[in-house]
Structure 1
Amino acid sequence: MNVLEVNKTNYESCNSDHPLHNWTTGAGRDVVPLNVTRNYYFISGKGFCYGGMKIAIHVQNLPPPPKPAPVKSGTTTTTTLTVSYKSNIILLSLVFAIGTLWDAFIHLW
C-alpha cells in the first residue's frame, strides 16, 4: 500500500500518475501533517483506490471558544475543548492501517 496525495480530479478518477506528494515511508508508518486549512485528497495507488482505498479530508480552523457563562456566586466550573492536528494524523494513519489489514485479510481467502 502507499499513501499518495492528489488533487480533487485525480482523487475522483483514482489517477495516481502524478501525485502532489508521496507520503509512503514504509512499514505502515506513514504520517501526514494536516496543519493547513484546506481540502486534502489521498489515494492508494496500484489499483487499490478503485476498491475504496481513498479519503478526502477537510481541515479547518477551530471556531473561537464560546464566551463563558456568568458564574453563579459560590460555584465555578470550567470546560475546555482542545482538538489538535495530531488527532487528524492519528485518524488518517488508523484509516490506512485498517485498510491494509483488510486487504491482507482478503488475500488470505
Structure 2
Amino acid sequence: MNVLEVNKKDFESCNSDHPLHNLTRGAGRDVVPLNVTCNYYFISGKGICYGGMKLAVHVANPPPPPTTASLNEKSGSSSSILKCQYVLPTVFAIGALWDAFVWFW
C-alpha cells in the first residue's frame, strides 16, 4: 500500500499519476502532519483507491478557549451531580426501610 496526497479532482477520480506528496515510508510508518488549516485528500495508488482506500480530511482551527461565563455554568452542573450523589442513596435507603417495614407486618 502507499499513501499519496492529491488534489480534490484526483481524489474524486482516484488518479494517482501526479500526487502532491508521496507519504509512504513502508512497514506502517506512514505519518501525515496535519498542521495547516485546509482540506487534505489522500488515496492509495495502484488501483486500490477504486476499492475505497481514500480519505478526505478537513483540518479546522481549534475552538476558542471557554469564557469565564461558561466555566461558571459548568460549575452549576457539578452541584446537580452532587445532589444526585445524595438523592439516590437516600431513595435506596427509604426503599430498604419500606421493604423491611412491609416484611415486618
TM tier, shorter chain? 0.5 to 0.7
- Sequence identity (%): 76
Aligned to 1:14: 14
Aligned to 1:31: 31
1:71 deviates by 4.7
Aligned to 2:41: 41
Give unpaired runs (5+ residues) of structure 1: 78-109
Aligned to 1:3: 3
How many residue pairs align between the two structures? 74
Alignment RMSD: 2.0
Which structure is higher in RCO with an 8 Å CA cutoff and minimum separation 6? 1
Give unpaired runs (5+ residues) of structure 2: 79-105
More helix, by proportion: 2
What SS class does the counterpart of residue 41 from structure 1 fall into? strand
One-letter identity of the residue aligned with 1:21: H
What SS class does the counterpart of residue 68 from structure 2 fall into? coil
Determine which structure has more spread, i.e. the larger CA radius of gyration: 2
Aligned to 2:60: 60
Q: How big is each residue's C-alpha offset from its partner over 1:39-71, in whole Å with a ceiling of 9 and x where there is no partner?
A: 000000000100000000000101212212365
4+ residue runs over 6 A deviation: none
Instruction: Pick closer, same or farther for the CA change 1:66–1:9 going to 2, 3 Å.
Output: same
- State the distance in 1 between where 2:72 and 2:7 align: 49
